[in-house]
Amino acid sequence: MNLNAIQMILVVFVAFLAGMEGVLDEFHFHQPVISCTLIGLVTGDLVPCLILGGTLQMIALGWANVGAAVAPDAALAGVASAIILVLGGQGKAGVSSAIAIAVPLAVAGLLLTILARTVATAIVHIMDRYAEKGSFRGIETWHIIAICMQGIRIAIPAALILAVGAGPVRSLLSAMPTWLTEGLSIGGGMVVAVGYAMVINMMATAEVWPFFAIGFVLGTVKDLTLIGLGAIGVSMALIYLTLSKMGGSGKGNDNGGGSGSGDPLGDVIDNY
């Protein structure tokens, strides 16, 4: 797909916002599911980009900065893969290839992240000097410069990919053999499972599992069967037992009139 000048400007702007949000973390434009969706909106290729963003988001769930280890750049992965998908013109069929290219780009993006953070260290010292002078305007100016630097960190690679054009990108994707694209698709699916498993492992507690089971049943089963209803019933029973142990201790409640009878739902109703 060939993009016009307005679409290219909007794509670069989305990339700029994604780079800034990697630090601000306020509107989550750096999350692949959002950045890919926005690029799909401005390019008119919404559905494939939405599928791509959702798949990359599952992978990015397992990316986290631990100590001195810096995770791959989710913002660059989402923006670069969405642009490659749009320029390739393969639609849904090109999602696996875009992911295969995006993950190495995300790892390579660590160099840009390290560079930006190194420059940010010097900016902090400049802001310290303005703070000694009591110049709030100087501090705010350099603060904005530092944030814009993070946006440029993603906008420049996005602009370079757009500058390459649809032709070379399409030729690159078409030149990939079938065994490679299918293998990358399988590998991408495994990475998604690993990322989701890491999140579940961090959240895995006796209190959370029943809610996970209920969400899994409601999210994956179109028509509720007896097995699904049974899973919901067991989960609700476990939640009720957990509340009974936490709330019903038999002690009186001076504020709400609840007696601590061992019936958590009854205690809640009595309190109201």
Query: Is 87 within the bounds of a domain?
Result: yes
**Domain that includes residue 221, residue range:** 209-271
Verify that 146 and 230 share a domain, yes or no. Answer: no
Residue, of 85 and 101, whose pLDDT is higher: 85
200 in any annotated domain = no
Tell me if 222 is assigned to some domain: yes
| 156 & 248 share domain | no
Q: What are the tens digits of pLDDT across the range 226-240? A: 888 888 888 888 888
- Give the three-class secondary structure for 162: helix
Same domain, 24 and 149: yes
Is 23 in contact with 147 (CB distance < 8 Å)? yes
Residues 26 and 120 in one domain: yes
Predicted confidence at residue 191, as pLDDT, reads 62
* Torsion angle in degrees (nearest 10) through CA of 228, 233, 235, 239: 160
Sign of CA dihedral 82, 6, 108, 149: negative
The band of 252, judged by pLDDT with boundaries at 50, 70 and 90, is: very low
User: Do 11 and 99 lie in a common domain?
Assistant: yes
Nearest one of 40, 38, 33, 49 to 16, comparing CA atoms: 38
Phi, psi (deg, nearest 5) at residue 83: -65, -45
Query: Could you tell me which residue, 61 or 124, shows the higher pLDDT?
Result: 124
Q: Quick check: is 148 in a domain?
A: yes
Residue 250 banded pLDDT, cuts 50, 70, 90: very low
Q: Which DSSP string corresponds to 253-266? A: -TTT-----S-HHH
State how many domains the chain has: 2
* Most confident segment among 7-11, 80-84, 113-117, 181-185: 7-11
- pLDDT of 170: 67
Q: 139 and 229 share a domain? A: no
- Shared domain for 125 and 260, answered yes or no, is no
Same domain, 78 and 140: yes
